[in-house]
Amino acid sequence: MDYAPTSTGRSQKPILGGPIGARAIMDGRAVIVLGSNNYLGLANHPEVIARAKEALERYGAGPALNPPLATTPIHEALCAALARFHRTESALLFNSCTSANVAVACTLVGAGDRIFSDRLNHASIIDGCRLSAAESRVFNHADFAHLEAQLAEPGASRKLVITDGVFSMEGDAADLASLIQICRRHGAALVVDESHAAGVIGPGGRGTAALRGCEGQVDLVTGTLSKAFGAFAGGYVAGPAARIRELHDRGRFFMFTTAVSPSAAAGALAAVEIAMRDDSLARRLAENTQRLRAGLAKLGFRLLGGDSPITPIMIGNEEKAAALSRALLEDGVYVGAVRFPVVPRGEARLRAQPSAAHSTADIDEALAVFANVGRNLGII
């Protein structure tokens, strides 16, 4: 069935005409996609699609039951696979990582407790902290002296520190070794959101804890199925069985939401299994990231990050960032512009994200377009 796009009066964005891979159909033509979360190129992998289709035929579009009421063998297998991937005892599925982060902040701490959040954490973490009955504190990005001073203040029954593993707008990875030491000194639990890290960075693509040599030392990990693991809707929390049981029994954002569809769970399970058995995808992603970053830096673009595939190309001026994104798309490369209110005014950027699906020829072709457009617009 063909769907004709309609005008809604809102700002226009590209219309996808097929699956996301190294390239995709946008507005009726093929372009190189350097702005998706399809890190391992699994969103259209034949095994992932076949497993999702099989589950759709067997279980239908969805279970039509809240998660505490019923599950399927596929959901249970996915939880077990995510626990193995993160080398933890247990895992619990949510319908998004937003729900997972809010559930952690609102369930594991409450009145009389404190929760401490990095200033550059993802919006879902920020919202979870705001919704929690615990007192919420914000520490400056990667400023551990600031965090430690806050943790040392008396008056809290329980303390929970929560951070992104990879910060989504900056591309840098958290210094987990320092955070772990600080949390231990002050009796605080540490939660790490690995949404942009799981399957992506570290040995075997096992995330920030693996990258920093800290596996097994983080109290809880949250993550998403919507990025490296096939780009399906859904999120999860992984950690000790007792903590996961508490979230299962008391987490309102688990209990009163709908379940991940069986087809999404089956496809994501296939993606997790592929990521665990084939680390060549994570290695290819790292190679593509290095090639893209080196090429952009050589052209004269100002970059942030360096720990992950997220490559912020700093422009500053919001109109100029939007113009660069539009001109790139016109010449066959898609990279979205990120502007206020997602980032502060004056810090507009393009967020480039290569994929394991890209070939070296794809990266080089995209760099040639960046060179031409960047010079035409006077950015480089």
Q: In the block, which residue shows the tokens 């551990």?
A: 144
Cβ atoms of 220 and 104 within 8 Å: the answer is: yes
Annotation says 196 is catalytic: yes
Q: H helices within 87-218, ranges in order? A: 97-107, 123-131, 144-152, 176-185, 208-211
Strand order in the sheet with 311-316: 302-303, 311-316, 348-352, 337-338
Catalytic status, residue 227: yes
Token pair, residue 160, equals 């929970």
Q: Are 227 and 207 in contact (CB under 8 A)?
A: no
Does 141 qualify as catalytic in the annotation? no
SS3 string, 33-68, reads ECECCCCCCCCCCHHHHHHHHHHHHHHCCCCCCCCC
Q: How far apart are CA 262 and CA 70, in angstroms?
A: 12
Which residues are within 8 A (CB) of 80 and not within 5 positions of it... i.e. 6 or more apart?
91
C-alpha distances out from residue 304 to 129, 286, 349, 350, Å: 27, 16, 10, 11
| CA atoms of 254 and 108, how far apart (whole Å) | 13
Evaluate whether 352 touches 333 at the Cβ level (below 8 Å): no
- Cα separation of 90 and 273, whole Å? 16
Q: List the catalytic residue out of 96, 117, 136, 168.
A: 168
- Helix (H) or strand (E) holding 256, with range, is none
Rounded distance, CA 97 to CA 194, Å? 10
Q: Helices (H), strands (E): how many in the chain?
A: 13, 14
Residue 61 and residue 87: Cα distance in Å, rounded?
31
Identify the active-site residue in 227, 308, 355, 358: 227
- Tell me which H or E stretch contains 253: helix 252-255
Catalytic positions, please?
168, 196, 227
